[in-house]
Amino acid sequence: SRVNLFDIVLQSIKSFQNAYQREIELNRVENLWIYTDEQKLKQLLFIILDNARKYSEDLISVVLGKENNQLYIQIIDRGIGIPETDQNKIFDRFYRVDKARNRKQGGTGLGLPIAKEIADAIGAKINLSSVEKIGTTVTIYLPIDEKSD
């Protein structure tokens, strides 16, 4: 159905913050309408926010915008980042970057592969860029098309 992206993302952030006390900022934007599966988009956001929470301690920023024929949601953390050599493997099932650094954070290595599957199902693209010790930015691109569903 047709949803307001700002509302969906704000709801996701609020329910996330009910579970975890974390500071998350969101830019206010109006009139970003999109036909999408609201539940799937929220599941996708949850996985990315949960990684940002697990692998960073500072403010998490979420930025919404429109670019060409797509809307985007950017989740920016200022955490441990991902070494370049691992960046092409983290979307593989069960892959986790180095056991030592992950020991205190539970996880199965299934979050990102599932995020990718959800993205495929709703026609979204995920881009991840990361610098060790600086942080990680995940961008979800949602195509704007006029068909209803």
* C-beta of 34 vs 116, nearer to ligand ATP: 116
| Using rule CB under 6 A, residue 139 touches ligand ATP | no
Provide the minimum distance between the beta carbon of 115 and ligand ATP in the complex, in angstroms, as a whole number. Answer: 7
Q: Which of the stretches 1-9, 14-22, 65-73, 104-112 binds ligand ATP when contact is defined by CB under 6 A?
A: 104-112
* Residue with Cβ nearer ligand ATP (12 or 51): 51
Stretch that binds ligand ATP, among 12-20, 27-35, 50-58, 66-74 (CB under 6 A): 50-58
DSSP the chain: -EEEHHHHHHHHHHHHHHHS---EEE------EEE--HHHHHHHHHHHHHHHHHT--S-EEEEEEEETTEEEEEEEE-SS---GGGTTTTTSTT--S-HHHHTTS---S-HHHHHHHHHHHTT-EEEEEEETTTEEEEEEEEE------
Q: How far is the CB of 118 from ligand ATP (least distance, A)?
A: 12
Residue 108 within binding range of ligand ATP, rule CB under 6 A: yes
> With contacts defined by CB under 6 A, how many residues of the chain interact with ligand ATP?
21
Per this entry, what is the length of the chain?
149
Residue for token pair 């539970």: 106
Binder of ligand ATP out of 51, 64, 72, 139 (CB under 6 A): 51
Instruction: Rule CB under 6 A: say whether 80 interacts with ligand ATP.
Output: yes
- Residue 9, classified by CB atoms within 10 Å of its CB into exposed (0-12), middle (13-18) or buried (19+), is buried
Q: Determine if 126 is a binding residue for ligand ATP (CB under 6 A).
A: no
Task: Give contact residues for ligand ATP (rule: CB under 6 A).
Answer: 51-52, 54-55, 77, 79-82, 90, 95-97, 102, 107-112, 136
